[in-house]
């Protein structure tokens, strides 16, 4: 039995891991949030891992309030950078696997082709900077059998996300304005959770590896919102607007499509199309 510590267990990804746990009888998952285990506290983390004889850490904990991070960059940095450094040091010291979840926001969004794992990282906001700093710490520490998975536009039936926001607004309004000039791939958190649980036994690498995971295909936020309305059979009209018209405190990447060839080929995965995944999620909301 492989003992797996899941941090950030009350977030979208953590909750999806809990839903799928029963399908992986070889794994024993320990779910923690910041009230149970503060990942910023090195000694508390090390004590928990030693006491429970943890074999793998899946770090789903993150500060993800992108606009708010512009006002409180130190808080974002503490969770997304310093705590990740702790996890890397502990993973190396105790010879345990670490799976850390990162983001498309480490890129500048100026590409015209899907980002590969080796492409230059130039984050455009405080959140992206804090996540990249966490990645850099792990690369420096270089714990064996550890990986970073960058993902994009994550949603699920849990927590707060674009899909749930659109469904809520469509019940309140006759029309919604949505940005049409930012391109990416929505990622169903349950699909990512399934991949994480599947690959745990297969991870075997000397140095830290970075992978990209997102559902197949691409769309704009506007097209994503249109698909949500169509699948959920809502009559709300979606109106396209530009990023310039939709003011946000933090700058968003215009293009954040991720190339997923590496994770597919390494672990022999089939990745669902984003529209199929969305359909599956909306049936559960």
Q: Within its chain, how far is the Cα of 106 from the centroid?
A: 12
What string of DSSP letters covers 58-117? EE------HHHHTT-HHHHHIIIIIHHHHHHHHHHHHT-EEEEEEEGGGS-S--SSPBPT
Of 111, 102, 64, give the one whose Cα is nearest residue 257.
Answer: 111
Q: 155 near 12, Cβ under 8 Å? A: yes
Per the DSSP assignment, residues forming a β-bridge with 2 are 27
Cα–Cα distance, 121 to 260 (Å, whole number): 17
Question: Rg for the chain (alpha carbons), in Å?
Answer: 18
Of 225, 208, 216, 221, give the one whose Cα is nearest residue 253.
Answer: 221
Does the annotation count 127 as an active-site position?
Answer: yes
Query: What's the DSSP call for residue 203?
Result: -
From the candidates 127, 155, 188, 255, which is the catalytic residue? 127
Hey, which residues are catalytic here? 127
């Amino acid at each position: 039995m492989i003992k797996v510590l899941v941090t950030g267990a009350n977030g979208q990804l953590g909750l999806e891991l809990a839903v799928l746990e029963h399908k992986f009888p070889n794994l024993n998952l320990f779910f923690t949030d910041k009230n149970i285990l503060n990942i910023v506290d090195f000694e508390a983390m090390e004590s928990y891992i030693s006491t429970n004889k943890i074999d793998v850490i899946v770090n789903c904990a993150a500060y993800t309030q992108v606009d708010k991070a512009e006002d409180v960059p130190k808080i974002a940095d503490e969770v997304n950078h310093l705590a990740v450094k702790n996890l890397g040091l502990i993973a190396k010291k105790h010879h345990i696997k670490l799976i850390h979840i990162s983001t498309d926001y480490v890129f500048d969004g100026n590409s015209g082709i899907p980002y590969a794992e080796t492409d230059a990282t130039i984050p455009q906001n405080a959140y992206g900077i804090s996540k990249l700093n966490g990645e850099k710490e792990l690369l420096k520490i270089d714990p064996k059998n550890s990986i970073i998975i960058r993902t994009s536009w994550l949603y699920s039936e849990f927590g707060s996300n674009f899909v749930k926001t659109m469904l809520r607004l469509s019940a309140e309004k006759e029309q919604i304005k949505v940005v049409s000039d930012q391109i990416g791939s929505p990622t169903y958190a349950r699909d990512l959770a399934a991949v994480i649980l599947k690959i745990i036994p297969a991870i075997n690498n000397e140095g830290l590896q970075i992978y990209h995971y997102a559902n197949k295909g691409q769309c704009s936020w506007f097209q994503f919102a249109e698909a949500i309305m169509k699948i959920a059979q809502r009559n709300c009209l979606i109106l396209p607007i530009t990023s310039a018209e939709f003011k946000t405190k933090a700058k968003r990447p215009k293009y954040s499509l991720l190339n997923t060839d590496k994770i597919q080929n390494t672990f022999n995965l089939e990745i669902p199309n984003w529209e199929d995944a969305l359909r599956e999620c909306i049936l559960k909301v």
